[in-house]
């Protein structure tokens, strides 16, 4: 159809103008060249190409990965850095004195006087790292650990702070780290979930499934809750024989495939079929991987899984063995929780009123099982390809709360650590002030922590994105830098 110039829109008439045409052509060509240069330098965000019928198929990383799998040990309730990893002799010297120019009121009320660490510190290993007697088994591993002493959070409230650590934002509804990793990389084992979350025997953390939820990512990438005591719910059909179950699944698979052939390109149907088929394979694989009766007695003893005097420690120890078995089986991401929900510090590390009394109990649960898991994984060669992360949502103040024997919340400086594949062993990076209150050297928001974990997995945190509501979202928002000082 031919149109005269007066029938065209103003923009259309602009294209008939020779100068306008040449100007627009130059702009378009320069934009194409810029895009090509950015792509060549790998500076453009990109999304993984995922086959809905095979959402967990292994996918290529942005660059060669140092680690292929991850175990995250998440201590809920905010472990005090001053009772564990961050030695402050000045705090011992000033014990009982008021903090000069310190805050009169903190998160839960008036501030009291400075309080020395509630446990003695000793130098450990070849590095001479000062670590608390509260965790003697983990203290023996310090030569293999990279400590990050200058992390900061955006929140001093447990729920939002758990979100920030697990999802990169204090808000609800965003994907967890494990979901981002399995979305990007898939899994090496197609018979087990790519991402497993193991709650503490005492319960789930403050923000519950937000810590392993998929947010706006496809639901396939959410974590599957699983522990050594409670198998995955609804995995087996009650009152149905194995033969009948196999026959029903075979018929369903045949019908689904026929329907999919009649409706090619139906991604939702393909995804549903994939989830059904994974569930069927899990009926065989999950009971095998969760069966700890095959573990030798010396392994159970080394973890503390046979400790009848402390049932909570024994149950947590069995979760640690399960985490190791899942990694052995090729599960991509395992999130192991230590500590449960809000309980005045009785069920987690939230030590406001009687920190020493509560930490004695919590350390007895944490220390031996986690240290044994790391040593066991190292002996089996699993740490060659596995990154182990120890983390908590924020730290604690150097003073006690007024009228109490515990410390208030402190998001301004705390410690987490890494060990295993790609990690420089025996280093301490960053520093808090002389009392351990604020990060003052090499300060790193948790964006940097998550960016470093992704980097070790071969993923560029700036390129790993998902478009949601018109925005290219990523785990580290628009921030984050890799902490290269802890990389080997």
CA separation for the pair 429, 206 (Å, rounded): 29
- Cβ 349 vs Cβ 357: under 8 Å: no
Q: What is the pLDDT along the chain (488 residues), one digit of tens a residue?
A: 555 556 655 555 555 666 665 666 655 555 455 445 444 444 445 788 888 778 889 999 999 999 999 999 999 999 999 999 999 999 999 999 999 888 888 888 899 999 999 999 999 999 999 999 999 999 999 999 999 999 999 999 999 999 999 999 999 999 999 999 999 999 988 889 999 999 999 999 999 999 999 999 998 899 999 887 766 665 566 667 778 777 876 777 787 777 767 777 666 666 666 666 676 676 667 778 888 998 999 999 999 999 999 999 999 999 999 999 999 999 999 999 999 998 889 999 999 999 999 999 999 999 999 999 999 999 999 999 999 999 999 999 999 999 999 999 999 999 999 999 999 999 999 999 999 999 999 999 999 999 999 999 999 999 999 999 999 999 999 999 999 999 99
CA separation for the pair 323, 476 (Å, rounded): 26
Domain ranges for the chain, please list them: 5-40, 69-231+294-486, 232-289
CA separation for the pair 457, 451 (Å, rounded): 10
69-231+294-486 carries CATH number 3.40.190.10: no
Model-wide pTM > 0.75: yes
Alpha helices in 348-414 (DSSP H): 355-379
- b/e burial code for range 103-135 (CB count within 10 A of at least 16 → b): eeebebeebbebbbbbbebeebbebebbbbebb
Burial of residue 487 (CB within 10 Å: 0-12, 13-18, 19+) is middle
- b/e burial code for range 264-286 (CB count within 10 A of at least 16 → b): eeeeeebbebbeebbebebbebb
CA separation for the pair 25, 31 (Å, rounded): 10
DSSP E strands, 283-339: 333-338
């Amino acid at each position: 159809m031919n149109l005269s110039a007066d029938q065209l829109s103003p923009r259309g008439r602009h294209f008939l103008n020779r100068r306008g045409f040449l100007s627009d052509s130059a702009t378009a060509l320069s934009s194409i060249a810029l895009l090509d240069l950015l792509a060549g330098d790998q500076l453009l965000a990109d999304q993984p190409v995922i086959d809905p019928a095979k959402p967990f198929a292994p996918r290529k990383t942005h660059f060669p990965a140092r680690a292929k799998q991850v175990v995250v040990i998440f201590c809920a309730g905010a472990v005090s850095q001053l009772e564990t990893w961050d030695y402050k002799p000045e705090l011992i010297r000033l014990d009982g004195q008021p903090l000069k120019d310190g805050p009169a009121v903190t998160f839960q009320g008036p501030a009291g006087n400075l309080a020395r660490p509630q446990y003695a510190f000793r130098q450990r290993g070849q590095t001479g790292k000062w670590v608390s007697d509260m965790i003697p088994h983990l203290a023996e591993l310090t030569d293999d650990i990279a400590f990050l002493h200058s992390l900061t959070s955006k929140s001093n409230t447990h729920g939002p702070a758990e979100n920030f650590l697990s999802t990169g934002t204090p808000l609800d509804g965003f994907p967890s780290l494990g979901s981002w990793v399995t979305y990007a990389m898939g899994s090496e084992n197609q018979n087990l979930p790519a991402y497993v979350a193991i709650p503490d025997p005492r319960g789930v953390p403050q923000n519950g499934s937000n810590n392993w939820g998929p947010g706006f990512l496809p639901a396939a990438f959410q974590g599957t809750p699983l522990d050594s005591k409670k198998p995955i719910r609804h995995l087996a059909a009650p009152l149905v024989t194995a033969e009948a179950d196999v026959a029903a699944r075979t018929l369903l698979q045949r019908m689904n495939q026929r329907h999919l052939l009649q409706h090619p390109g139906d991604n939702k149907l393909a995804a549903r079929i994939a989830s059904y088929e994974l569930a069927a394979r899990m009926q065989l694989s999950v009971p095998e991987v969760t069966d700890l009766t095959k573990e030798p007695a010396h392994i159970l003893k080394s973890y503390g899984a046979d400790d009848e005097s402390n049932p909570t420690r024994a149950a947590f120890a069995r979760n640690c063995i399960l985490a190791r078995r899942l990694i052995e089986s090729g599960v991509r991401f395992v999130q192991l929780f230590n500590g449960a929900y809000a309980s005045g510090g009785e069920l987690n590390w939230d030590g406001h009123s009687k920190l020493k009394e509560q930490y004695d109990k919590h350390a007895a649960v944490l220390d031996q099982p986690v240290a044994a898991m790391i040593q066991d994984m190292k002996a089996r060669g699993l740490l060659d390809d596995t990154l182990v992360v120890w983390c908590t949502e924020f730290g604690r103040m150097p003073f006690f709360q007024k009228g109490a024997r515990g410390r208030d919340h402190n998001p301004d400086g705390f410690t987490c650590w890494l060990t295993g594949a790609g990690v420089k062993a025996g280093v301490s990076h960053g520093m808090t002030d002389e009392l351990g209150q604020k990060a003052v050297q090499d300060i790193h928001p948790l964006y940097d922590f998550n960016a470093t974990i992704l980097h070790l997995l071969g993923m560029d945190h700036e390129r790993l994105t998902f478009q949601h509501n018109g925005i290219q979202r990523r785990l580290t928002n628009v921030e984050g830098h890799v902490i290269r000082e802890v990389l080997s």
